[in-house]
């Protein structure tokens, strides 16, 4: 890990275990909770994704950390620094489990539509993608993909409804290298990642890996 990222982690990541709250020497967990680390159940990546990785299930304390990252408390200026650091640590752990053949030449965020960006004030996937690219020393292409139309919120929709909702919603704006990491904070059915990957493949990406901090457990609509 680069020195600047270690320094950032030391400043921002709570020194208490994010699972039980007891003192932790470093990282996210105390010695007792580290062996209990749970990852999402293995699920085949939805085509045309080559693979997808998420570090934790989108439940319990992880859901709360990610909600803090996406929706900071009203008194905060910008992001919640602790939540920002925790979510970045999760997505970096997921990235570092990928095999060498899926090492990317570029990182691309799943973009918000401009109307949603104005509503929220920031793009959480873009912030994560930039941090991942810096930590892994690979290219960051923040404008390589655009959302061509606003889409209704996906919460509560089935896999088929999500696919129909997203069909044709993305366009790649430039040629892409052979392997791309496509970054978002949370995946549910993978429909958003799959539709975005389809657009990237049209512009030259042969392998597209979906990379998220968390994934909603199978059978849960969120």
Low-confidence ranges of the chain (pLDDT < 70): 1-15, 18-19, 25-28, 34-38, 41, 73-79, 152-160, 162-165, 219-222
Pairing of strands 51-57, 207-215: parallel
Cis peptide upstream of residue 187 (ω within 30 degrees of 0): no
Global confidence as pTM: 0.80
Beta strands in 77-190 (DSSP E): 106-109, 139-140, 145-147, 170-172, 179-187
Given this model, what pLDDT does residue 57 score?
Answer: 92
Instruction: Cite the residue boundaries of each domain of the chain with CATH code 3.40.50.
Output: 46-215
Given a contact cutoff of 8 angstroms between Cβ atoms, the answer to whether 129 and 88 are in contact is no
Q: Is 46-215 a CATH 1.10.8 domain?
A: no
Given this model, what pLDDT does residue 49 score?
Answer: 96
Given this model, what pLDDT does residue 98 score?
Answer: 94
């Amino acid at each position: 890990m680069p020195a600047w990222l270690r320094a950032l982690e030391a400043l921002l990541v709570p020194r208490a275990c994010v699972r039980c709250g007891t003192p932790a020497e470093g990282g996210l967990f105390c010695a007792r909770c580290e062996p209990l680390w749970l990852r999402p159940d293995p699920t085949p990546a939805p085509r045309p994704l080559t693979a997808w990785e998420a570090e934790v299930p989108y439940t319990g304390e992880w859901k709360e950390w990610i909600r803090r990252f996406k929706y900071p408390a009203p008194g905060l200026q910008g992001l919640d620094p602790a939540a920002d650091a925790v979510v970045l640590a999760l997505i970096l752990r997921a990235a570092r489990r990928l095999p060498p053949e899926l090492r990317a030449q570029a990182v691309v965020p799943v973009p918000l539509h401009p109307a949603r960006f104005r509503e929220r004030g920031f793009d959480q996937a873009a912030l994560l993608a930039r941090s991942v690219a810096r930590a892994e020393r690979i290219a960051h292409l923040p404008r390589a993909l655009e959302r061509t139309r606003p889409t209704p919120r996906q919460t509560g929709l089935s896999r088929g409804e999500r696919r129909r909702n997203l069909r044709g919603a993305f366009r790649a704006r430039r040629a892409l290298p052979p392997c791309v990491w496509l970054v978002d904070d949370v995946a549910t059915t993978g429909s958003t990642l799959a539709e975005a990957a389809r657009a990237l493949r049209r512009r030259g990406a042969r392998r597209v890996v979906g990379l998220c901090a968390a994934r909603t457990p199978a059978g849960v609509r969120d």
